[in-house]
Amino acid sequence: MSDPQRAFDPIPLHAWLIEAGLSSLPTADLFDGFCNRLVAAGVTLSRGFLSLSTLHPQRRAHSLTWEKGAIADVADFGYAYMQTPAWHTSPFRYMLETDTRRLHRRLDGDGAALDFPVLSEFRAAGHTEWLALIYGFDSALDRAKGSQNGVVCSWATDRAGGWSASDLGLIEELSGTLALAAQTGGAVVATRDVLATYLGADAAERVLAGHVQRGSVGRFAAFILTADLRGFTDFAEVTVPEEVTRRLNGYFDCMGEAVATAGGEILKFMGDGILAVFLPKDSADKPAVAAAALAAAQDILARVAALNEAESAGGRPALAVDIALHHGDVTYGNVGTADRLDFTAIGPAVNEAARLEALCKELGRNLLVSDSVVRAAPALRPRLQSLGRHRLRGVRESREVFTSA
């Protein structure tokens, strides 16, 4: 087949990809823009696929499919996908496990090679040629440990007889720059995911905004929620570690989902407990945020009760959760050594919340609310029952304490 050399200079497209990557152009816009520019250059492209590995606890990879001039599908692949038949018969799995960085197949004619099920699907859809490329961004040590991070892309054409040699060469030449641009932009998303996973979404955004120096803190009025499992230490001493981890994660799910639903932020997991904050935007926002924090505490109790019922049905011991809800000013930001920081909330109000939670066992209650919450949001008072005034360890004056009515 003839292979006319078109007068196309790829340098402007390389430059566009570099600029797009450095400016963190959203991946969908980057991929769509690239595919359409290839087509405008005369390359017959019927399908494009781009997948980026992620650093997210639930998503292994993020992928986009381009067809007929537009992004046709956006999907996230969880870690469980790696156990499915679709993955086990995938050409990408073969490439990763054999360190094959380029896989090229004709899909029609005498030279057709349909050695993976998906290639037969592509041929049935009218594609005539397929190319896959993998660009890894791991160190040799990472690869030795089985890490598989990087960018995967694949291309297909429905042109009779497949691509010309010049088109195929152009696709391969530009795909590396595309991978680098996608990885550069994706690194911002990956960084945000990692920070949000370990710090929380609000703290992550503050760190990404440049609040990274020790002593870079702010003072905020906050509703503070602390929760802790009663009797967990005794349970852990007589239970195998794998079961301890499973149970602890189950209780943390109850706490975390309730806090997130109500608009709060878990700042820290502390052994078998959490420290969470609910931050009002201003004074006028306090009543609504206080109500949300109380709703979160009650939701935790309901979720834990349901979880305990399921565990008890399986012959396993139930564990109670103690919760304290307090209001006060917190110092929120970077605390630690010069090069090892913790983004957290500190201050007397945080300490008082911890002391209030410790009072739960003594009073035989699973939820205690401080008088400072009631003062900040008087509308909550009819929903609460006073338990009288009590001394909190380390707090000079006694405090009136409430629980759910």
pLDDT tens-digit profile of 339-396? 888 888 888 999 999 999 999 999 999 999 999 999 999 999 999 999 999 988 878 7
pTM of the predicted protein model:
0.75
Calculated CA dihedral for residues 172, 173, 176, 180, nearest 10 degrees = -140
Q: Provide the pLDDT for residue 373.
A: 96
The helix (run of H) or strand (run of E) holding residue 123 is: helix 117-124
Q: Provide the pLDDT for residue 204.
A: 80
Q: Provide the pLDDT for residue 325.
A: 97
**Mutual orientation of helices 201-208 and 165-199 as an angle, nearest 10°?**
120
Strand stretches in 146-245, DSSP E: 150-157, 217-230
Q: Does residue 403 sit in helix, strand or coil?
A: strand
Q: Provide the pLDDT for residue 148.
A: 58
Interacting residues of 318 by C-beta distance below 8 A, sequence separation 6+: 308, 309, 311, 312
Interacting residues of 4 by C-beta distance below 8 A, sequence separation 6+: 164, 166
Same topology for domains 11-198 and 200-404, yes or no? no
In this structure, the strands spanning 384-390 and 399-404 are: antiparallel
Interacting residues of 95 by C-beta distance below 8 A, sequence separation 6+: 101, 103, 132, 134, 152
Q: Provide the pLDDT for residue 170.
A: 95
- 323 close to 297: Cβ distance less than 8 angstroms: yes
Classify domain 200-404 at the CATH class level: alpha beta
Calculated CA dihedral for residues 152, 158, 163, 169, nearest 10 degrees = -20
Q: Provide the residue ranges of all domains of the chain, joining segments of one domain with +.
A: 11-198, 200-404
Q: Provide the pLDDT for residue 102.
A: 96
Classify domain 11-198 at the CATH class level: alpha beta
Q: Provide the pLDDT for residue 278.
A: 95
Q: What does each C-alpha distance from 56 to 21, 87, 198, 202, 217 come to in angstroms?
A: 21, 19, 11, 17, 27
Q: Provide the pLDDT for residue 142.
A: 44
Output the 3-class SS for 133-153: EEEECCCHHHHHCCCCCEEEE
Q: Does residue 311 sit in helix, strand or coil?
A: helix
Distance in angstroms (rounded) separating the CA atoms of residues 302 and 222? 24
Q: Provide the pLDDT for residue 211.
A: 78
Q: Provide the pLDDT for residue 144.
A: 41
Other C-beta atoms within 10 Å of 51: how many?
21
Q: Which residues of the chain have pLDDT under 50?
A: 1-2, 4-5, 139-147
Residue with tokens 């004056």: 397
And the tokens for 396?
């000079």
Q: Provide the pLDDT for residue 212.
A: 80
